[in-house]
Amino acid sequence: MSHRARRGAFLASLSLALIASSCGGDAAKNPQPQGMPAIPVKVQVAQAVPVNDTTEYVATLKSRDSAVIMPQVEGQITDIYVHSGDRVAPGASLMQIDPARQQATVKTQEDTLSAKRAELGWDKQQFDRISSLYKSGVASKQELDQAQATLDTAQAQLQALEAQVRQETVQLHYYKVSAPSSGIVGDIPVRVGDRVTTSTQLTTVDKPGSLEAYVYVPVERAAQVRMGLPVHIVDSAGNQVAESRVSFISPQVDNTTQTVLVKASIPNNNDKLRTLQFTRARIVWGTRVGPVVPVLAVSRIGGQFFVFVAETDNGHMVAHQKALQVGEMMGNDYVVLNGIKAGDKVIVSGTQFLVDGAPVAPQG
């Protein structure tokens, strides 16, 4: 082979090598796209179960056996016989208001009553004397009538004074403040030496036991409220602490809040609840059949609840993200009001690796 021929073959080989190298580089830089591998996940079929159709409201607990103690007279407190938290019996002395002025009034009227009784005795003697003289013809009929009138007036005045003495004596009893019923003494905001009036709150006496939940239902739902509807009292964690039924529906609408007052008697045997406590009350409107989903399968983004559901798409299983409207909790499950239906395959594991449309391989 001549030199020129060998040179031509070498250049041709070099060109082929450069072309092959260039094609290989482009293939390395721009690989052909491949399908995303399916993510193994666990699924759970959403079951349809009977669930309560409820609405939750803020309620106030009040006691029908709670008495606000206010004085019936004015004066200065001279003694307080109890402390907050003491248990008292009916009629137990709670406080003493200075009775000195009232005692003086009663003493004065009793002395006046004694004088009036003596005066009545004298008038009666006079009447008896005039009556004897009249029968003997010595006294005139006019003198007899005058003696009778004087005696009647004295008797009427005596009766009036006796009524006044009784009234002032009863008033004297009000200076000692007593418990109207058995119960527990509440806060005592007054102190010895304070001057109180008939509008001053001295303390409260609360009898442990049943309470009443005051629930204010918007007027839009007032037509659905009926006697006997179940009412559940729940704590901040959503756990039920008491159960009752509607026992009173107000016939009037509150003009300020446009709500209807609904009451339910609440048993409080374990003393977990307190008078005037704000709590949450669920009114159960009825029961329906609806799906539930595990709490662990639900994510919350921007205040909205979501789950991933495994669905068939072009012959492959993919994860679709569904927005949910959830209700109350039943154990470890959310009651679903809207978003999925019974029979949907809810993904309960590996959701942190999923995006909408990601291929999945259900494991169970």
| Same domain? 230 vs 281 | yes
In the chain, how many domains are there? 3
| Same domain? 254 vs 350 | no
| Same domain? 231 vs 310 | no
Q: Is 180 left (phi over 0), alpha (psi -120 to 50) or beta?
A: alpha
Domain-ending residue, one of 239, 271, 287: 287
Is residue 168 in a domain? yes
| Same domain? 168 vs 73 | yes
**Average of pLDDT values for 218-236?**
91
Is residue 343 in a domain? yes
Does residue 15 register a pLDDT over 50? no
pLDDT 10s digits, 301-321: 888 999 999 998 888 889 999
Place of tokens 């527990």: 184
Pairing of strands 183-185, 278-294: unpaired
Is residue 8 in a domain? no
pLDDT 10s digits, 191-201: 999 999 999 99
Beta carbons of 180 and 205 less than 8 angstroms apart: yes
In single-letter form, the type of residue at position 275 comes to T
pLDDT 10s digits, 98-108: 999 999 999 99
Read off the CATH number of the domain in which 225 is found. Answer: 2.40.30.170
| Same domain? 177 vs 256 | no
The per-residue pLDDT of the chain, averaged, comes to: 85
Domain-ending residue, one of 262, 287, 312: 287
Q: Structure pTM? A: 0.55
- Residue 269: pLDDT band with limits 50, 70, 90: low
Rounded CA gap, 36 and 305, in Å? 27
| Same domain? 175 vs 272 | no
For 237, the domain range is 56-65+206-287
**Average of pLDDT values for 152-180?**
92
The share of the chain scoring above pLDDT 70, in percent, equals: 89
Pairing of strands 39-41, 360-362: parallel
Read off the CATH number of the domain in which 298 is found. Answer: 2.40.420.20
- Measure CA of the first residue to CA of the last residue in the chain; give whole Å: 74
| Same domain? 78 vs 170 | yes
pLDDT of amino acid 230: 93
Report the residue count for the chain.
364
pLDDT of amino acid 335: 85
pLDDT 10s digits, 318-353: 999 999 988 777 778 888 888 898 889 999 888 888
| Same domain? 296 vs 272 | no
